[in-house]
Amino acid sequence: MTVWTTIRGVLSKRGLELAILLFAISTLLFFLLRLSGDPAAVLAGEEADPDLVALIRQRYGLDDPLIVQYVRYVLSILTLDFGESLRGGQEALLLVLQRLASTLLLAFLALIVTALISVPLGAWLGVRPDAKTRKWVNGIVFIFQGIPGYIVGLLLIQLFVVELRWLTSIGNQGVTSWILPSLTLASFLAPKMVRVVAANVSEAMREDYIRTARANGASTADVLWRHALPNALLGATALIGTQFAFLMSGSLITEWIFAWPGFGLLLVQSVEQLDFPVVQAAVFVIAGLVFVVNAGTDVVFRLIDPRLRRQQA
Protein backbone atom coordinates (compact mmCIF):
# COMPACT_ATOMS: atom_id res chain seq x y z
CA MET A 1 0.00 0.00 0.00
CA THR A 2 1.49 3.32 -0.98
CA VAL A 3 1.41 6.54 0.99
CA TRP A 4 -1.22 8.04 -1.25
CA THR A 5 -3.71 5.22 -1.06
CA THR A 6 -3.40 5.34 2.72
CA ILE A 7 -4.07 9.05 2.83
CA ARG A 8 -6.90 8.77 0.34
CA GLY A 9 -8.51 5.94 2.29
CA VAL A 10 -8.40 7.83 5.57
CA LEU A 11 -9.59 11.09 4.05
CA SER A 12 -12.54 9.53 2.25
CA LYS A 13 -13.79 7.72 5.36
CA ARG A 14 -13.18 10.62 7.73
CA GLY A 15 -14.34 13.17 5.18
CA LEU A 16 -17.66 11.39 4.87
CA GLU A 17 -18.05 11.43 8.64
CA LEU A 18 -17.24 15.13 8.76
CA ALA A 19 -19.75 15.91 6.01
CA ILE A 20 -22.50 13.94 7.79
CA LEU A 21 -21.65 15.59 11.10
CA LEU A 22 -21.65 19.15 9.76
CA PHE A 23 -24.87 18.52 7.87
CA ALA A 24 -26.53 17.06 10.98
CA ILE A 25 -25.35 19.88 13.22
CA SER A 26 -26.36 22.67 10.88
CA THR A 27 -29.78 21.10 10.36
CA LEU A 28 -30.20 20.67 14.10
CA LEU A 29 -29.24 24.29 14.74
CA PHE A 30 -31.55 25.54 12.00
CA PHE A 31 -34.62 23.78 13.35
CA LEU A 32 -33.81 24.38 17.01
CA LEU A 33 -33.52 28.09 16.31
CA ARG A 34 -36.96 28.03 14.74
CA LEU A 35 -38.43 25.79 17.44
CA SER A 36 -37.21 28.08 20.18
CA GLY A 37 -39.59 30.81 18.99
CA ASP A 38 -39.56 33.57 16.42
CA PRO A 39 -35.92 33.76 15.31
CA ALA A 40 -36.31 37.43 14.45
CA ALA A 41 -37.36 38.17 18.03
CA VAL A 42 -34.49 36.04 19.35
CA LEU A 43 -31.99 37.77 17.08
CA ALA A 44 -33.29 41.22 17.98
CA GLY A 45 -33.03 40.41 21.68
CA GLU A 46 -35.54 40.95 24.44
CA GLU A 47 -37.64 44.11 24.44
CA ALA A 48 -36.63 45.02 20.89
CA ASP A 49 -38.88 47.45 19.08
CA PRO A 50 -41.18 45.96 16.37
CA ASP A 51 -39.50 47.90 13.56
CA LEU A 52 -36.19 46.18 14.27
CA VAL A 53 -37.88 42.79 14.35
CA ALA A 54 -39.56 43.51 11.00
CA LEU A 55 -36.23 44.63 9.55
CA ILE A 56 -34.57 41.43 10.68
CA ARG A 57 -37.41 39.34 9.26
CA GLN A 58 -36.96 41.02 5.92
CA ARG A 59 -33.18 40.87 5.93
CA TYR A 60 -32.96 37.19 6.81
CA GLY A 61 -35.90 36.22 4.60
CA LEU A 62 -37.84 34.86 7.56
CA ASP A 63 -41.19 35.41 5.86
CA ASP A 64 -40.43 32.76 3.24
CA PRO A 65 -41.65 29.16 3.62
CA LEU A 66 -39.51 27.09 5.98
CA ILE A 67 -38.19 24.79 3.27
CA VAL A 68 -37.03 27.74 1.15
CA GLN A 69 -35.24 29.19 4.16
CA TYR A 70 -33.62 25.84 4.86
CA VAL A 71 -32.32 25.39 1.30
CA ARG A 72 -30.97 28.94 1.26
CA TYR A 73 -29.34 28.32 4.62
CA VAL A 74 -27.65 25.11 3.49
CA LEU A 75 -26.41 26.76 0.29
CA SER A 76 -24.90 29.68 2.16
CA ILE A 77 -23.14 27.30 4.53
CA LEU A 78 -21.75 25.29 1.63
CA THR A 79 -20.02 28.47 0.48
CA LEU A 80 -18.79 29.00 4.07
CA ASP A 81 -20.94 32.11 4.38
CA PHE A 82 -22.12 32.16 7.99
CA GLY A 83 -23.20 35.79 7.89
CA GLU A 84 -22.08 38.62 10.11
CA SER A 85 -21.82 38.79 13.87
CA LEU A 86 -25.02 40.23 15.31
CA ARG A 87 -23.04 42.21 17.86
CA GLY A 88 -19.97 43.58 16.11
CA GLY A 89 -20.96 43.25 12.48
CA GLN A 90 -17.71 41.54 11.45
CA GLU A 91 -17.80 38.46 9.31
CA ALA A 92 -18.46 35.55 11.68
CA LEU A 93 -16.01 33.09 10.13
CA LEU A 94 -13.21 35.66 10.13
CA LEU A 95 -13.90 36.49 13.75
CA VAL A 96 -13.52 32.83 14.70
CA LEU A 97 -10.42 32.21 12.59
CA GLN A 98 -8.69 35.17 14.24
CA ARG A 99 -8.93 33.23 17.49
CA LEU A 100 -7.51 30.02 16.03
CA ALA A 101 -3.87 30.79 16.88
CA SER A 102 -4.64 31.38 20.57
CA THR A 103 -6.54 28.12 20.94
CA LEU A 104 -3.84 26.16 19.13
CA LEU A 105 -1.13 27.74 21.30
CA LEU A 106 -3.00 26.70 24.42
CA ALA A 107 -3.58 23.15 23.14
CA PHE A 108 0.09 22.84 22.15
CA LEU A 109 1.32 24.04 25.55
CA ALA A 110 -1.10 21.69 27.32
CA LEU A 111 0.17 18.74 25.28
CA ILE A 112 3.77 19.58 26.21
CA VAL A 113 2.85 19.76 29.91
CA THR A 114 0.92 16.49 29.58
CA ALA A 115 3.94 14.79 28.03
CA LEU A 116 6.29 16.16 30.69
CA ILE A 117 4.07 14.76 33.43
CA SER A 118 2.86 11.50 31.97
CA VAL A 119 5.92 10.07 30.21
CA PRO A 120 8.26 9.92 33.25
CA LEU A 121 5.45 9.04 35.68
CA GLY A 122 3.92 6.47 33.35
CA ALA A 123 7.26 4.85 32.52
CA TRP A 124 8.17 4.65 36.20
CA LEU A 125 4.78 3.12 37.08
CA GLY A 126 5.01 0.68 34.20
CA VAL A 127 8.46 -0.62 35.08
CA ARG A 128 7.79 -1.22 38.77
CA PRO A 129 5.20 -3.95 38.97
CA ASP A 130 3.39 -4.58 42.26
CA ALA A 131 5.53 -2.30 44.41
CA LYS A 132 3.84 -0.68 47.36
CA THR A 133 4.65 2.78 46.02
CA ARG A 134 2.92 1.87 42.82
CA LYS A 135 -0.28 1.22 44.71
CA TRP A 136 -0.08 4.64 46.34
CA VAL A 137 0.68 6.48 43.12
CA ASN A 138 -2.16 4.60 41.43
CA GLY A 139 -4.50 5.74 44.16
CA ILE A 140 -3.42 9.35 43.71
CA VAL A 141 -3.83 9.14 39.93
CA PHE A 142 -7.27 7.63 40.55
CA ILE A 143 -8.34 10.56 42.70
CA PHE A 144 -6.83 13.10 40.29
CA GLN A 145 -8.90 11.57 37.57
CA GLY A 146 -11.99 12.44 39.60
CA ILE A 147 -11.07 16.12 39.81
CA PRO A 148 -12.68 18.02 36.94
CA GLY A 149 -10.44 20.45 35.05
CA TYR A 150 -12.38 23.54 36.09
CA ILE A 151 -11.75 22.71 39.74
CA VAL A 152 -8.04 22.28 39.00
CA GLY A 153 -8.12 25.72 37.36
CA LEU A 154 -9.83 27.32 40.36
CA LEU A 155 -7.43 25.65 42.80
CA LEU A 156 -4.44 26.87 40.76
CA ILE A 157 -5.82 30.42 40.79
CA GLN A 158 -6.48 30.17 44.52
CA LEU A 159 -2.93 29.03 45.16
CA PHE A 160 -0.76 30.98 42.71
CA VAL A 161 -2.80 34.13 42.16
CA VAL A 162 -4.69 34.73 45.40
CA GLU A 163 -2.39 33.25 48.05
CA LEU A 164 1.12 33.46 46.60
CA ARG A 165 0.49 36.29 44.08
CA TRP A 166 3.06 34.85 41.69
CA LEU A 167 1.03 34.79 38.51
CA THR A 168 -1.86 36.49 36.79
CA SER A 169 -4.95 34.67 35.69
CA ILE A 170 -6.42 36.88 32.99
CA GLY A 171 -5.87 36.71 29.28
CA ASN A 172 -2.74 36.17 27.24
CA GLN A 173 -0.13 38.61 28.55
CA GLY A 174 3.09 36.85 27.77
CA VAL A 175 4.80 33.71 28.95
CA THR A 176 3.97 33.94 32.67
CA SER A 177 0.26 34.12 31.86
CA TRP A 178 0.56 30.88 29.88
CA ILE A 179 1.46 28.73 32.88
CA LEU A 180 -1.87 28.36 34.66
CA PRO A 181 -4.08 27.86 31.58
CA SER A 182 -1.76 25.23 30.13
CA LEU A 183 -1.56 23.40 33.48
CA THR A 184 -5.35 23.49 33.71
CA LEU A 185 -5.91 22.16 30.22
CA ALA A 186 -3.21 19.52 30.75
CA SER A 187 -5.10 18.28 33.82
CA PHE A 188 -7.93 17.14 31.51
CA LEU A 189 -5.63 14.75 29.68
CA ALA A 190 -2.71 13.94 31.98
CA PRO A 191 -4.30 11.31 34.32
CA LYS A 192 -5.59 9.37 31.33
CA MET A 193 -2.22 9.65 29.64
CA VAL A 194 -0.33 8.45 32.73
CA ARG A 195 -2.51 5.34 32.83
CA VAL A 196 -2.04 4.61 29.15
CA VAL A 197 1.74 5.07 29.22
CA ALA A 198 1.99 2.93 32.37
CA ALA A 199 -0.16 0.16 30.91
CA ASN A 200 1.69 0.24 27.58
CA VAL A 201 5.10 0.15 29.22
CA SER A 202 4.20 -2.70 31.55
CA GLU A 203 2.69 -4.61 28.65
CA ALA A 204 5.77 -4.02 26.49
CA MET A 205 8.07 -5.11 29.35
CA ARG A 206 6.49 -8.56 29.19
CA GLU A 207 7.06 -9.02 25.46
CA ASP A 208 9.39 -11.64 24.09
CA TYR A 209 11.82 -9.19 22.51
CA ILE A 210 12.32 -7.57 25.90
CA ARG A 211 13.10 -10.94 27.44
CA THR A 212 15.57 -11.58 24.64
CA ALA A 213 17.22 -8.22 25.20
CA ARG A 214 17.43 -8.92 28.93
CA ALA A 215 18.87 -12.37 28.30
CA ASN A 216 21.54 -10.65 26.24
CA GLY A 217 22.45 -8.62 29.31
CA ALA A 218 20.61 -5.32 28.71
CA SER A 219 19.86 -3.36 31.87
CA THR A 220 16.37 -2.25 32.86
CA ALA A 221 17.16 1.31 31.81
CA ASP A 222 18.45 0.08 28.43
CA VAL A 223 15.37 -2.01 27.83
CA LEU A 224 13.08 0.83 28.87
CA TRP A 225 14.68 3.53 26.75
CA ARG A 226 15.46 1.54 23.66
CA HIS A 227 12.56 -0.87 23.42
CA ALA A 228 9.61 -0.48 25.77
CA LEU A 229 9.21 3.30 25.83
CA PRO A 230 9.25 3.93 22.06
CA ASN A 231 6.56 1.29 21.67
CA ALA A 232 4.51 2.63 24.54
CA LEU A 233 4.72 6.23 23.35
CA LEU A 234 3.36 5.30 19.97
CA GLY A 235 0.14 4.20 21.62
CA ALA A 236 0.14 7.20 23.91
CA THR A 237 0.48 9.59 20.99
CA ALA A 238 -2.48 7.92 19.35
CA LEU A 239 -4.43 8.92 22.45
CA ILE A 240 -3.88 12.58 21.56
CA GLY A 241 -5.64 12.04 18.26
CA THR A 242 -8.62 10.26 19.73
CA GLN A 243 -8.83 12.62 22.70
CA PHE A 244 -8.51 15.82 20.70
CA ALA A 245 -12.27 16.40 20.75
CA PHE A 246 -12.16 16.06 24.53
CA LEU A 247 -9.24 18.48 24.64
CA MET A 248 -11.34 21.03 22.74
CA SER A 249 -14.15 20.63 25.31
CA GLY A 250 -11.56 21.25 28.00
CA SER A 251 -10.24 24.24 26.10
CA LEU A 252 -13.72 25.78 26.17
CA ILE A 253 -13.72 25.70 29.97
CA THR A 254 -10.08 26.67 30.39
CA GLU A 255 -10.40 29.66 28.09
CA TRP A 256 -13.47 30.79 29.97
CA ILE A 257 -11.80 30.53 33.38
CA PHE A 258 -8.70 32.44 32.30
CA ALA A 259 -10.32 34.80 29.78
CA TRP A 260 -7.96 33.26 27.22
CA PRO A 261 -8.75 34.83 23.83
CA GLY A 262 -9.35 31.62 21.86
CA PHE A 263 -12.49 30.51 20.09
CA GLY A 264 -13.79 28.55 23.06
CA LEU A 265 -14.20 31.83 24.94
CA LEU A 266 -15.71 33.40 21.82
CA LEU A 267 -18.20 30.51 21.58
CA VAL A 268 -19.33 30.80 25.20
CA GLN A 269 -19.68 34.57 24.91
CA SER A 270 -21.57 34.30 21.63
CA VAL A 271 -23.89 31.70 23.14
CA GLU A 272 -24.65 34.00 26.04
CA GLN A 273 -25.34 36.88 23.63
CA LEU A 274 -27.34 34.63 21.27
CA ASP A 275 -25.00 35.62 18.44
CA PHE A 276 -25.91 32.67 16.23
CA PRO A 277 -23.78 33.34 13.14
CA VAL A 278 -20.65 33.31 15.32
CA VAL A 279 -21.83 30.23 17.25
CA GLN A 280 -22.37 28.43 13.99
CA ALA A 281 -19.01 29.46 12.54
CA ALA A 282 -17.23 28.45 15.77
CA VAL A 283 -18.89 25.01 15.79
CA PHE A 284 -17.85 24.49 12.16
CA VAL A 285 -14.27 25.56 12.75
CA ILE A 286 -13.96 23.28 15.81
CA ALA A 287 -15.41 20.36 13.85
CA GLY A 288 -12.96 21.05 11.03
CA LEU A 289 -10.02 21.23 13.42
CA VAL A 290 -10.97 17.95 15.11
CA PHE A 291 -11.29 16.40 11.66
CA VAL A 292 -7.83 17.58 10.60
CA VAL A 293 -6.20 16.27 13.78
CA ASN A 294 -8.02 12.93 13.68
CA ALA A 295 -7.30 12.33 10.02
CA GLY A 296 -3.72 13.49 10.50
CA THR A 297 -3.00 11.06 13.35
CA ASP A 298 -4.75 8.29 11.43
CA VAL A 299 -2.51 8.83 8.40
CA VAL A 300 0.68 9.23 10.40
CA PHE A 301 0.09 6.07 12.39
CA ARG A 302 -0.77 4.01 9.36
CA LEU A 303 2.49 5.17 7.83
CA ILE A 304 4.75 4.52 10.80
CA ASP A 305 3.15 1.44 12.33
CA PRO A 306 3.42 -1.65 10.17
CA ARG A 307 0.70 -3.42 12.18
CA LEU A 308 -1.84 -0.84 11.06
CA ARG A 309 -0.70 -0.75 7.47
CA ARG A 310 -1.99 -4.24 6.97
CA GLN A 311 -5.53 -3.28 8.04
CA GLN A 312 -8.01 -1.79 5.65
CA ALA A 313 -8.61 1.93 5.87
Partner 1 sequence: MTAQTETTSPVRSLLPRLRIWPRAGSGNGMTIVGTVIVLCFAIATIGVLIWPPAEAYTGNLMERWKAPLEDGSVLGTDQLGRSLLWRVAAGMPWSLGIAFTAAVIAITLGTAAGLLAAWSPGPIRRVVQHLVDTVIAFPSLVLAVTVIALLGRGFWPLAATLGLATWPIAARVVYAEAMSISKRDYVMAARLAGVGSTTILITHVLPALRPTLLVMFAFTFADMLIAESALSFLGIGVPLTAPSWGNMLSESREYLVEAPQQMLVPATAIVLAVVAFNLIGDGVAAKARSRSRAVE
CA dist., res. 268 & res. 272, Å (int): 6
Handedness of CA 53, 56, 61, 67 (dihedral sign): negative
Give 53 or 257: the residue with its C-beta nearer to partner 1: 257
Binding status of residue 146 toward partner 1 by CB under 8 A = yes
Binding status of residue 256 toward partner 1 by CB under 8 A = yes
Size, binding site for partner 1 by CB under 8 A: 70
Binding status of residue 268 toward partner 1 by CB under 8 A = yes
- Residue 77's CB: how many other CB atoms inside 10 A? 19
Which of 141, 189, 190, 193 binds partner 1 (CB under 8 A)? It is: 141
CA dist., res. 229 & res. 143, Å (int): 25
Handedness of CA 29, 31, 32, 37 (dihedral sign): positive
Binding status of residue 139 toward partner 1 by CB under 8 A = yes
Alpha-helix residue ranges (DSSP H) falling in the chain: 3-35, 39-44, 50-59, 66-78, 92-98, 100-127, 132-145, 149-156, 179-205, 208-215, 220-223, 229-242, 244-258, 263-272, 276-304, 306-309
Which of 68, 94, 100, 151 binds partner 1 (CB under 8 A)? It is: 151
- Of 113, 123, 251, 248, the C-alpha closest to 190 is 113
Stretch binding partner 1 (CB under 8 A), from 16-24, 50-58, 83-91, 170-178: 16-24
CA dist., res. 302 & res. 310, Å (int): 9
Residue-wise DSSP of 194-253:
HHHHHHHHHHHHTSHHHHHHHHTT--HHHHIIIIIHHHHHHHHHHHHHHTHHHHHHHHHH
Binding status of residue 283 toward partner 1 by CB under 8 A = yes
| Closest distance to partner 1 from the beta carbon of 272 (Å) | 6
Count how many Cα atoms sit within 13 Å of the Cα of residue 78 in the half-sphere of its side chain: 7
Binding status of residue 46 toward partner 1 by CB under 8 A = no
Binding status of residue 292 toward partner 1 by CB under 8 A = no
| Closest distance to partner 1 from the beta carbon of 50 (Å) | 23
Which of 15, 17, 212, 288 binds partner 1 (CB under 8 A)? It is: 17
CA dist., res. 75 & res. 81, Å (int): 9
Which of 1, 3, 24, 304 binds partner 1 (CB under 8 A)? It is: 24
CA dist., res. 126 & res. 197, Å (int): 7
Which of 41, 48, 62, 145 binds partner 1 (CB under 8 A)? It is: 145
| Closest distance to partner 1 from the beta carbon of 75 (Å) | 21
- Classify 91 as helix, strand or coil: strand
Binding status of residue 43 toward partner 1 by CB under 8 A = no
| Closest distance to partner 1 from the beta carbon of 7 (Å) | 14
Give 185 or 282: the residue with its C-beta nearer to partner 1: 282
CA dist., res. 11 & res. 243, Å (int): 19
Which of 138, 168, 172, 177 binds partner 1 (CB under 8 A)? It is: 138
Binding status of residue 97 toward partner 1 by CB under 8 A = no
Site of interaction with partner 1 (CB under 8 A): 16-17, 20-21, 24-25, 28-29, 32-33, 35-36, 135, 138-139, 141-143, 145-148, 150-151, 154-155, 157-158, 161-162, 195-196, 198-200, 203, 234-235, 238-239, 241-242, 245-246, 248-249, 252-253, 256-257, 267-268, 271-272, 274, 279, 282-283, 286-287, 290-291, 294, 297-298, 301-302, 305, 308, 311
